[in-house]
Amino acid sequence: MKTLICGSMAYDTIMVFKDQFKKHILPDQIHILNVAFLVPEMRREYGGCAGNIAYNLQLLGGHPLIMATVGDDFAPYAQRLSNLGLAQDHIRLVPGTFTGQAFITTDLDDNQITAFHPGAMGHSHLNSVSLAHDVTLGIVSPDGREGMIQHALEFAERDIPFVFDPGQGMPMFSGAELLRLVEQASYVTVNDYEAKMLQDKTGKTLKQIADRVKALIVTLGADGSLIHADGKEFTIPTPKPAAIVDPTGCGDAYRAGLLHGIQKGWDWEMTGRLASLMGSLKIGSRGGQNHKYTRMELADLYREHFGSRITL
């Protein structure tokens, strides 16, 4: 059973400014802002929603297929995917473009200034769900606007259940478009802020949205998550992380657990707990793809935190 992951592939360039932004930005002069920050510490991480979700799903023993568009600079990422054994059949190179890039500068107060260049993501509609075979589940995660609309429609037309994960792409859509995407999906997952935005844009309550899908999942960070399904609300706790290092990619790790539980046909409590565990484990390492666990280790950690066994 293969899971088709439609979404972004990106490089995250993270820089640390060894001071506080507020000391160097004059509030009364922001109309002529011109500042430069010396960043002696810099690292580059492999990221993007599709890349992060696929990485985590493979840790769980799933069979992810990545569908994404990338640029001329993708070679190092392609080599990484080869080393990890992740298929690249549905990753399309768009000549003359860059792979998606996030440039993040953080100060000592953990404030961030981020610039994001979508690059090849704007061509995601060049990929088609019809080109992927033996797919029994999918996810439409943040990507190019046209691509997200197209891939959701293609999943629906082929009766392939999929998760709609609008994420930071939500502002690209009108309320009517979001409602149509929700109705095409089998599952919807958002964080608490996105849940409020989804309600505001569609004019629907969470219950009304949940009634349109098999499950509506709302993540709450350290407070766990809520799963609205089968007319019930399941409260899912978050295991206390061993360390809090970097929240980048925690949501993607959670979604991988969600996809794995759905593919396995688990109940919502077990599925949600696995998803929550994946997010909690990810926060203990930098970047979205640097945590490493065997399936046995993950199963042991699940039993340790939740007192029951799972077979991954």
Instruction: Indicate whether 29 belongs to any domain.
Output: no
Q: Which of 206, 261, 258, 269 is nearest to 236 (CA)?
A: 269
- Where residue 140 sits, what CATH number does that domain have? 3.40.1190.20
Instruction: Indicate whether 312 belongs to any domain.
Output: no
Instruction: Indicate whether 123 belongs to any domain.
Output: yes
Instruction: Count the domains in the chain.
Output: 1
Quote the pLDDT of residue 76. Answer: 98
The band of 86, judged by pLDDT with boundaries at 50, 70 and 90, is very high
Burial 114-151 (b: 16+ CB within 10 A, else e): eeebbbbbbbbbebebeebeebebbbbbbbbbebbbbb
Tell me the per-residue pLDDT of 218-276, one tens digit each, with 9 for 90 and over: 999 989 999 999 999 999 999 999 898 888 899 999 999 999 999 999 999 999 999 99
Quote the pLDDT of residue 247. Answer: 85
Tell me the per-residue pLDDT of 32-76, one tens digit each, with 9 for 90 and over: 989 999 999 899 999 999 999 999 999 999 999 999 999 999 999
Question: Where in the sequence is the domain holding 263, given as residue range(s)?
Answer: 2-21+40-306
